[in-house]
């Protein structure tokens, strides 16, 4: 795999590799196999990845976040206490 990366790195950094002819000439002298040369020429990433035997498997993990309507229990308790306090205040005020 490192040879393919080196070839791609050289292609990206070499300003003289602009035309297809220059790229093909460079690829034929590079130390990569014919399949890899064809994949690079065709700009086919999947085909290039298939030619690399030691390519690591990348596994994506999805982060699970709580839904927006899932509020902490503390907020509900605070609201209940506020409601109780306001109801108590109204009862006290009406009794005087």
pLDDT by 10s per residue, the chain, length 96: 578 889 989 989 988 888 889 988 999 888 888 999 999 889 888 888 888 876 566 667 777 777 776 555 555 555 555 555 555 555 445 545
Burial of 40 from C-beta contacts in 10 A (0-12 / 13-18 / 19+) = buried
Residue 75 within a domain: no
In a domain, 66, yes or no: no
Distance CA 2, CA 10 (A): 12
Residue span of the structural domain in which 24 resides: 2-50
Which of helix, strand or coil describes residue 45? helix
Residue 32 lies in a domain: yes
| Residue 14 falls inside a structural domain | yes
Question: Which CA distances in Å does 18 have to 5, 26, 71, 84?
Answer: 18, 11, 57, 76
């Amino acid at each position: 795999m490192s040879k393919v990366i080196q070839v791609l790195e050289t292609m990206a950094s070499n300003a003289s590799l602009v035309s297809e002819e220059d790229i093909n000439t460079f690829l034929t002298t590079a130390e990569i196999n014919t399949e890899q040369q064809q994949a690079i020429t065709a700009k086919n990433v999947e085909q290039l990845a298939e030619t690399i035997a030691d390519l690591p498997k990348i596994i994506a993990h999805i982060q699970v976040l709580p839904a927006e309507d899932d509020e902490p229990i503390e907020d509900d308790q605070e609201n209940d206490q506020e409601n109780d306090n306001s109801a108590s205040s109204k009862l006290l005020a009406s009794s005087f």
